[in-house]
Amino acid sequence: MIPIAKPYLTEEEAQAAYDTILSGWITQGPKVKEFEELFAGYTGAKYAIAVSNCTTALHLSMIVSGIGPGDEVICPSMSYIATANSIKYVGAIPVFAEVQPLNYNLDPEDVEKRITTKTKAILLVHQIGMPADIDAFKKLCDKYDLKLIEDAACAAGSAYKGKKIGSHSELVCFSFHPRKVISTGDGGMITTNRKDYYNRLKLLRQHGMSVNDRVRHVSDKVIFEDHLEVGYNYRMTDIQAAVGIKQLEKLDWIVEERRKIGAIYNEAFKNIEFINLPIEKEGYFSNNQSYSVYLKESCPIDRNDLMQKLLDEGIATRRGIMTTHRETAYKKIQKDINLPVSEDLQDRSIILPLYVPMKDFEIKYIIRSFIELIQPANVGMESHY
C-alpha cells in the first residue's frame, strides 16, 4: 500500500526525544523556548509562541484579536473544519466565502461582498501549502478596519513574494500534525510581530500564569505566580519541541524534495486535457503539502470510482478538500449556503500521494496507474512510465 502521506522522521528526531525524556524536563520548558526562537528566525517574524496544535493557535488568535459573541469572521468553507470551529469557540459566526477555482484559496472579490457591519476579521487559509494573495486581503482589512489572521496550518516552508509565510501579518498559525510538511506528532505555532500579542498569547496558553515554570525553575529567588486571566492548557511539550527543532533543520530540504515530486507529477499529467493541475503564479512558492488534481466534467471516470480503483491497486488517495458548510455539524446551524465553486472543487478533486522520501518506483507506479485508469487509450504516456 502506498499511503497518501507520512512524516519524515529519522533517528535524529528519536534521539532528540530520548535525550529530552532523560533530561527530566518534558513539559513546556527550554526546548520549547529554543524551538520558538528558531521558528521565528526561520519565518522572519519577531516572535513565535508554541502551542498544542493549530486549532488552539487559531482559538488564541481569535481571543487576542478581540473577536467575541455575535462578531462575524469571513473564512473559506473549503478548509478543514478546525478553521471554522476556531471562530465558533469564541462565540463568533463563521461567514463562508468562495475560493478561486485554480488555487483553492479565498476569492478577494467574493470576500468583499460578504463584509458587513458585524465583520471583525478575515481568516485566510493557505490551502494545501499554496499561499493566498495576502496583499489583496491586507488591503481589504485596511479598507474596512478588519483583523487579518492567517491559517497557515499547511504552509510551513511556503513563501509569498520572496518572504516565508509567517511574517506578513499580525497573527499566523501553523500546524505540526503528521500530515503536514514537518511534524512534532501534533503541535502548533503562532507567529506575530506585535509584542502585546506575544505577551498575552504566552499567558493564555498556560492558564494565564504570570510566571512560567521554566523561569521559576532557573531563578535563585523564590517566585510566586499569579493567574492574571482565565487561560487554557494549550502548551507544547519539550519532547515535541526537541523533535520540532530537528524537523526545522530539514524543512527547506523537505520542501525541495516535495516540489521535485510535484514537478514530476505535473510533467506526467500536463497533456491530459480533462484535468486541471496545481498552478503556482509568479511570486507564490508552495511547499507542496498536498498534490490535488481536478477532474473536469469531460473526464471519462467518476472521481469516487477512480479513488476506489486506485485503492484496489494499492494506492491511497483522498477526496478534494472538505467543505465545512456541508458537514453535519454546520448543516444543523447554518442553512441555505450556496458555494458552487467550493462544492465543485471538493466533489471533482483527488489528492494523490506525496511525501518524503518517495521511491522512484512508487512515483512511476502512481503515475502509470492514474494514467491507465483516467486515460487508458494514451499508450505513449503509459509506456513512458
Q: List pLDDT tens digits, range 36-63.
A: 999 999 999 999 999 999 999 999 999 9
56 and 198 co-located in one domain? yes
Determine how β-strand 188-192 pairs with β-strand 47-51. Answer: antiparallel
Question: By C-alpha distance, which of 171, 103, 104, 169 is closest to 135?
Answer: 169
181 and 281 co-located in one domain? no
Question: Which pLDDT belongs to residue 217?
Answer: 74
In whole angstroms, give the CA distance from residue 32 to residue 116: 40
CA within 13 Å, CB half, 205: 31
Question: Which pLDDT belongs to residue 222?
Answer: 82
- Say if 303 falls within a structural domain: yes
Question: Which pLDDT belongs to residue 383?
Answer: 47
Q: CB under 8 Å to 132, separation ≥6 — which residues?
A: 103, 105, 106, 124, 125, 126
Does the annotation mark 180 as catalytic? yes
In whole angstroms, give the CA distance from residue 353 to residue 261: 10
Q: Which residue positions in the chain have pLDDT lower than 70?
A: 376-385
CATH code of the domain covering residue 288: 3.90.1150.10
Question: Which pLDDT belongs to residue 334?
Answer: 82
Question: Which pLDDT belongs to residue 18?
Answer: 98
Question: Which pLDDT belongs to residue 319?
Answer: 96
Cα dihedral 193, 196, 197, 199 in deg (nearest 10) = 110
Q: CA separation (Å) from 363 to 260, 293, 356?
A: 11, 15, 11
- Say if 4 falls within a structural domain: no
120 and 148 co-located in one domain? yes
Question: Which pLDDT belongs to residue 212?
Answer: 79
Question: Which pLDDT belongs to residue 328?
Answer: 94
280 and 241 co-located in one domain? no
86 and 24 co-located in one domain? yes
What does the DSSP 8-state code read for residue 128?
Answer: G
Domain that holds residue 174: 11-248
Domain end (from 214, 233, 248) = 248
The active-site residue out of 180, 202, 246, 309 is 180
295 and 206 co-located in one domain? no
